[in-house]
Amino acid sequence: MKRVFLFAAALLLPAAAYGDEWPADSVKTVKDVSLDEVVITAAKAAKGTPVAYSEVSKDELSRRNDGQGIPYLILQTPAISMTSDAGTGIGYSGFRIRGTDANRINITVNGVPLNDSESHGVFWVNMPDFASSVENIQIQRGVGTSTNGAAAFGATVAMQTENPSMKPGAEYALSTGSFGTVKHTAKGGTGLLYNHFAFDARYSNVGSDGFIDRASARMSSYFVSAAWYEDNMLIKFQTFGSSEKTYQAWNGVPSAMLKLSGEGAENRTFNPCGMYEENGEVKFYDNQTDNYWQEHYHLMVSRRTGDAWNMNLTLHYTPGNGYYEDYKAGAKLAAYKLAAFANPEGGETTRTDLVRRKWLDSHFYGAVYSANYRSRKLQATVGTAINNFVCDHFGRVIWTKSAYSLPAPDYEYYRNKGEKLDYSACVKVNWLFRPNLSGYADLQYRGIDYKINGSDDKAGDQVHIAKNWHFFNPKAGLNYLKNEHDAFVSCAVAHREPNRDNFTEAGVNQYPVHETLVDYEAGYSFRQKSFYAGVNLYYMDYDNQLILSGKISEIGEALTTNIKDSYRMGMEVSGGVSVARWLTWNGNVSFSRNKIKNFTEFVDDWDTGEQISHYIGTATIAYSPDIIANSSVDFYYKNFSASFNSHYAGRQYMDNTSCKDRSIDPYFVNSLRLGYVFKPKFMKEIVLDVTLNNLFNEAYETNAWVYSYMEGGVRKKDDGYFTQAGIHAMGRIAFRF
């Protein structure tokens, strides 16, 4: 058993720690090491790497986890803004970092890419209660270190799954609260068996009616892990997956119906999804839902070869399939490749109500490998990854209102296939060339082959796209680390290919080009036992950034266009103080300037069918608040704890015109959590806590969309705001054995 711990210790020295010549606080001792951590994820940065990053620990996740998704649980870290379709953080939710779109944030689990290969996004609705199986989350702001999968074009989120306990244990937790929210979580582990084996499992079920009308969510998930340990080897298999059924709340509340108080205030929960009219009466389709099933399989092998080398290989496979169902009132038959038909009045019927389903059937698989070398002054990593993605996109009409006869049951009106091969290699070197001063270099090559073939979901359209890209992404920096002081400077280059929508939703002969980012960062922090303060400065210079245009697709997806020159610059300040053993405060504030140079707006003219251009000059990038601030006050006394959290986000513009009429107002929300832990003799502990979210009942929105147009010489708009719940409560009881 001792040899297993020594092996783990040898593999786990941080990327910036190379023996006794490094500061003592950068080296872990054997007693701090967990066996599971020998699976090293190349996506993570260690102390001494010249990168701006934050960590969220297992304990922090556990304290906050009442069923809300990962976006809510990491909200207290710097420069993050969050949104939720249902208004509660359960179901469809997402986040931005430094104003960066969700599909520009690289997200991995144990180094395996989680982003969808075509959309580049992560759908957290497919990861219900995943936080219950996470050991820690590292959030790198900016380009960060080289990673696998989607381009880190503004941020990286690296999640490590939970380490198995060396002792057997079990837990059952029940959370319940406002809007019919209920979460069950059952988990257990065998501990280390026969000095070689460990098994863990979890099952969760989450349900909520949502703050928004009919925005219900019914989700379940599982996690199973089996590990085998030997003196110089670890083999681990894990699988996790989920199923979800959520009622669509993708369209938001139109501004014309949005009232904060007084008569009509109930419209803050209005959901237009599924709405249709029958005999003059407004109705809502019962099954206007999103349905998806997804599983993940990871086989991980880590082996030590000699005192300085270790190697890690992960094989992975992720199948997923599902559909969303829509009631389409007055749909054009031609849009579904259906012929018009004669009506009883002798004319021709070209429209009818119908119900359609849009399907995805995807398979993602590949391998991630790294070899790591560590000596007293040098730490180096050579990593490679190859991943392939195949996805069938198809749509079916399952019902029509009229007497129209479909060509076939579940009539299929389009089908196309997307295929994407993503391969990369990187070399990372950290060299201690002066006492307390190290240099970092990171060189990555990334290649992408992408194609789409088949019929599109637009009438008469065929889609044939074949693209390939070859990117070189260099990164370099210096880090000074001595006692309480830690300072760094770095420069990193990243490239990002367009996603599927950038191609399929583009105009004729308007296919997008890849984006380039040069990220300059500098930071300093001072840390003592009872005090911490840090500041980070950044300038992110974009070439051909794909900017949100304000136009949306039919399911509420924001569409983008290339803009030649744009930038993000800012300062992130963080700090914390331990006032007493029982009272601590932590906080951070981010100030930023996010601008497009020489911006020209194009607005559709419905009268002429053309577009009108308006030169604006320097404009603020949409959805980029100039101030984001967080504060957390934590009180501990014996078995009682209390936390008071605050979050502020500045004004966000919905398009790139900096027009207040098309913006999201600043908001300031607070939450209070109270908890108590009982220590009975017959079990490990019983945990009770209650959380009051939006304590002061702020009426606010976190996201919105807008489409502007000209009609009759007047500028008009269609829009939707995603309102969030007022004061609401969640209570939890957990039994741990």
What tens digit of pLDDT does each residue of 379-394 get? 999 999 999 999 999 9
Q: Considering the entire predicted model, what is its pTM? A: 0.91
At residue 458, the pLDDT reads: 73
Integer Cα distance of 13 and 26 in angstroms: 8
**What confidence score (pLDDT) does residue 41 get?**
52
Annotated domain spans of the chain: 2-736
**Who contacts 208 (Cβ-Cβ below 8 Å, separation ≥6)?**
67, 86, 88, 90, 91, 179, 180, 181, 182, 216, 217
8 Å CB contact between 623 and 652: yes
Alpha-carbon distance of 437 to 639, in angstroms, equals: 43
The owner of tokens 């786990």 is 12
Contact 545, 563 (CB under 8 A): yes
Q: How far apart are CA 279 and CA 532, in angstroms?
A: 66
Alpha helices for 438-537 (secondary structure H): 500-504
Tokens of 410: 């579940």
Beta strand segments in 43-142, E = 52-57, 80-84, 93-97, 105-109, 112-113, 134-142
Burial tier of 417 (Cβ tally within 10 Å: 0-12, 13-18, 19+): middle
pLDDT of residue 717: 92
pLDDT of residue 17: 32
Hey, is 20 helix, strand or coil? Answer: coil
- Answer yes or no: CATH 2.40.170.20 is held by domain 2-736: yes
Q: What is the pLDDT of residue 558?
A: 55
Tokens (6 digits) for 455:
């019929």
Q: How far apart are CA 8 and CA 230, in angstroms?
A: 11
657/548 Cα distance (integer angstroms) = 12
**Which tokens sit at 123?**
């759908």
Quote the CA–CA distance of 382 and 387 in Å, as a whole number: 17
H or E element, residue 368: strand 351-374
The three-state (H, E, C) secondary structure of 398-430, written as one string: EEECCCCCCCCCCEEEEEEEEEEEEEEEEEEEE
Query: How many CB atoms sit inside 10 A of residue 618's CB?
Result: 12
- What's the rounded Cα separation, in Å, for the pair 423 and 148? 9
Query: Cβ distance 694 to 671 under 8 Å?
Result: yes
Looking at residue 238, its pLDDT comes to: 96
**Are the C-beta atoms of 519 and 143 separated by less than 8 Å?**
yes
Phi, psi angle pair for 130, to nearest 5°: -65, -25
- Give me the residue label for tokens 């880090």: 479
Query: Counting beta carbons within 10 angstroms of the beta carbon of residue 594, is it exposed (0 to 12), middle (13 to 18) or buried (19 or more)?
Result: buried
Tokens of 225: 């892990």
Q: What is the mean pLDDT of each run of 10 residues along the chain (737 residues)?
A: 36 32 37 43 73 92 87 94 95 94 91 94 94 94 88 90 89 96 97 92 97 97 94 92 96 85 73 93 96 97 87 96 95 89 79 95 96 90 96 95 81 96 95 93 96 83 91 96 95 95 73 93 95 97 81 56 92 96 96 93 86 89 96 96 97 93 96 96 95 96 92 92 96 96
DSSP letter assigned to residue 35 = G
At 187, the amino acid letter reads K
Residue 2's pLDDT is what? 38
Q: Counting runs of H as helices and runs of E as strands, what totals does the chain give? A: 4, 38
C-alpha to C-alpha distance for 460 and 147, rounded to whole angstroms: 40
Beta bridge partners of 510: none
Residues 195-212 as b/e (b if ≥16 CB within 10 A, e otherwise) read eeebebbbbbbbbbbbbb
In 3D, which of 78, 125, 531, 511 has the Cα closest to residue 294?
A: 125
Q: What confidence tens digit (pLDDT) does each residue in 238-296 have?
A: 999 999 999 999 999 999 888 665 665 668 999 999 999 998 899 999 999 999 999 99
Indicate left, alpha or beta for 119 from its phi (over 0: left) and psi (-120 to 50: alpha). alpha
Q: How buried is residue 460: exposed, middle or buried, by Cβ count under 10 Å (0-12/13-18/19+)?
A: exposed
CA distance 168 to 185: 17
Among 354, 343, 352, residue whose Cα is nearest residue 411? 354
Which residues make beta-bridge pairs with 299? 237, 315
